Structure 1
Amino acid sequence: MTREEAATLVNSAIDLLVQNDYALLDLDVTERSLSYRLAHYMALSDAIQPPLTVDCEYNRHFGDPKRLRLPPRKALDREIRATTVFPDILVHERNTDVNNHVVLELKKPGEDISYDERKLRAFRHELGYAHTAHVILGRVANDAIIREVVWIDD
């Protein structure tokens, strides 16, 4: 999957979420609710064909917990000294590293993305994901909808 194809997939899914689930934005639901709906619309795309899947909060690397070498945070396994991670949305083939295409971390406007930026870079470098991005989605004070995709390229 090229970056252009990944961007089309994500932006089309955001369009559908804003069009069909605007109530979620009005209600100011959690990022997990938005992530699920975004992943749902991504999975409906013709771009997702077996063996590719779209998963939310998928925390496995083969049979083991998905881990990255990140600075300590709340989910630290002190014996292995690696942080377990639960990426918001993945486009990948399960149980292999052959088709690791996209990792998305969703944030609402105004939330800090610095830790997630490190995490997205680690997904690229440690697990070979081709494309990683922040999706910033939600309403702001003037009722405008913020919908921004910030791709991490290195």
Structure 2
Amino acid sequence: MPSKGNPSQIVKDLSSPSLVRRELEELVSKKHLDSKNLSLLTDFLVKHPSVLLRDTSLSNRYKGYAYNCLAELLKFLLTNSVLDVLGSSQNEFVQLLQDVRRCAFDKDWLDGVEKRALTSSEAVLESIIQKEAEILETKAALSAPLGY
């Protein structure tokens, strides 16, 4: 890493695809990171370099654990819908998010994930409640006597 220069260039250098992949491959080779997560994490971290672990004092074991937790959250986000977060998978989502929050990842990105999930969930719930009310009104109108 250069000792002088534009700080944004330094951050860009740290998040280059080859450096990201090299760091993750090193964690895999030391058996701290599951190799199944390598491609997913590389793709994600190249697109979202702010999420990279920046603390150089972290041990490889901790980095591996943290990146494995992040990979589990990413897999969840890729395979589950808002309805899942509202229903049977809500506890899993909350737990995954808490685990990743305990690691040294970008708080703003995590806040954004949580806000999008909860905002979407609230919108879906509001829509369901509104449709349910419409159905009950329709049912009441259809059940009312015709009269004469």
Q: TM-score normalized by structure 1?
A: 0.27
Q: Which has the higher strand share?
A: 1
Normalised TM-score (structure 2): 0.27
